[in-house]
Structure 1
C-alpha cells in the first residue's frame, strides 16, 4: 500500500477500506464482495454503514488467492488450498516458488521449441515426437476448467497421476499419433465428411473420453472443443496452422452432428 492509501488504525493493527484494497490489489469491490459471499475472503469488520475493512491477515489471504488465480485455479479449488492459513511472508514465498518453477518449465519448453525450429530451418527431417517435444500438456488447463468444468480437468490429471513413467510415455505417444493423424488428413486434402477422416475423428473422440477419465464429451462439449481448435492459435499451431484447424473443426462438427445428436 502506498502512503496515499486511506489506512486506518484500530486495536490489533491497521486496516484498509474495500475501495482502497480493490484499487491497490486489482479485484473490483464487487469481486471482493463475491469472495465474501462464498466464504473465500471475509473482511476484518463491517462498519455500521456497511463499509468493509480488511486487515493484514485478510490481505495475506487475498495475496494467496490472487497468486493461485494467476495459475488459473478455480475459486473452489483455491478455497480448499487455503484451508490452512498462512502469513503474508509465507504467501509471498510460496508464490515466488511457484513462479520459479514455472520459469524453469518455460525455459525448458523454449529450449525444446527453439531446437525444433532451428532443425527445421536447417532442412533436417524430424520425427513427430521431436516436433512436439516442446508441447506443454498442461497449457490448456484453464480452458478445460472454464469450458467443461473442474471435473473434466481433474479426472484427466488423476488419470495421468495414476500412470507409471512408461505408461505416460505410451500415453504421450498415443496423443501424438491421434493429433498427427488429424493433421495429416487435413494436409492431404482428405474430405472432412469422408469415411477415412470421420474414422479419425471417432478415434479422437474416444481419446478425449479417455483423457476425461471415461466421461465422453456430449454434442455441445465436443462442438465447443472443435471451436476452440480454430479460435486458439496454440491449438491451430498443433495442427499445422489455421487452414488445417478449420478443416479438422469441420470434420469434428460433422461427426458430432451424426453421432452425438
Structure 2
C-alpha cells in the first residue's frame, strides 16, 4: 500500500499528514470502495478527511481501526458487534496484539478444521459417498462475505449477518438443521432422477426459495437474483459439491428456472 499526501491527490491542498486515498486502501485490504463507503454510512469507519471534490482519505488512526474491523470480522463478528467493540481508541500495535491473541485462541479450532477439510477432499478424490453434513463440516460461511456483497449488495449480507447474530444457540442449531434438510432434499431429488418440472420437485424449489429468503434476513429474492443463485450452484465447484456434482446441480438449476418463470417477477 503506497503512502500519499494531500499533494498527491488531484484538487486538494497541501498537508504534512500522511494519508491513503480510498482506492489504495481498497486495493491493500481486498475490500471494495463500495464496502468502505458502506462502513462510513453505518458509522463504522469514517475517513479522516473528505476533500472538496469528494476524494476520501484515511490516516493512521483510521488504518488502525480498519485493521481491527477486519480482524474481528475474520472471527465471525457481525458489523453491529464490531462497532460496539471499537468504542475504545486503540493504536495499531495494540490492535495487532489483540488480533494475535484472538488468532492463537482459534488455533486448535483451525487445526481441527484443516483435518476435517482434508478428510472431505480425500473422500471427493476417491469418489466416496458423502452426506451433506460431511460436505458442509469444514465450511466457514464468513468467507463468502465479499462475494455476497458484490453480487447482491451490502444489504443482503448485513441482513443475513444480523439475522444469524440474533439467534440463540438452540435457534442457530435448528437453522443449521433446516439448511441441511432443504439442500439435502434437492440433492436427493436430483440424484433420484425426478422430473425438475414435476410437482414434487417444484414443491422442493418453493421451500428452497423460502429458505433463501430466511437466510437473506427476510428479503425474498426476485427472479434475477434467484436464477443467478442457481447459476452459481452449477458454475461454482463449492456449491456443486453440495448437490452431488455438476450434473445434479444442473437439474436443480433447471427446476429453479422453471419455478421462477411461474412464480417470480
Match of 2:186 in 1: 182
Are the counterparts in 2 of residues 144 and 152 from structure 1 also a CA contact under 8 Å? yes
Q: For residues 216-235 of structure 1, what are the structure 2 equivalents within 5 Å?
A: 216-235=220-239
Q: For residues 12-161 of structure 1, what are the structure 2 equivalents within 5 Å?
A: 15-16=17-18, 22=24, 26=28, 40-42=46-48, 58-65=59-66, 68=69, 71=73, 80=83, 84-97=88-101, 99-100=103-104, 105-116=109-120, 127-161=131-165
TM-score w.r.t. length of structure 1: 0.68
The 1:78/1:206 distance shift into structure 2, 3 A limit, reads closer
Aligned pair partner of 2:199 in 195, 214, 219? 195
Structure exhibiting the larger radius of gyration computed from Cα positions: 1
Are the counterparts in 1 of residues 64 and 90 from structure 2 also a CA contact under 8 Å? no
Q: CA RMSD in A?
A: 4.5
Match of 1:10 in 2: none
The 1:162/1:78 distance shift into structure 2, 3 A limit, reads closer
TM-score w.r.t. length of structure 2: 0.67
What stretches of structure 1 of length at least 5 have no aligned partner? 8-13
What stretches of structure 2 of length at least 5 have no aligned partner? 6-15
Once structures 1 and 2 are overlaid, which stretch shifts more, 194-203 or 163-172? 163-172
Cα distance between partner residues in 1 of 2:117 and 2:128? 15
Tell me if 1:171 matches 2:175.
yes
C-alpha deviation, 1:77, in angstroms: 7.4
Cα distance between partner residues in 1 of 2:101 and 2:264? 44
Are the counterparts in 2 of residues 185 and 197 from structure 1 also a CA contact under 8 Å? yes
C-alpha deviation, 1:116, in angstroms: 4.3
Are the counterparts in 2 of residues 16 and 53 from structure 1 also a CA contact under 8 Å? no
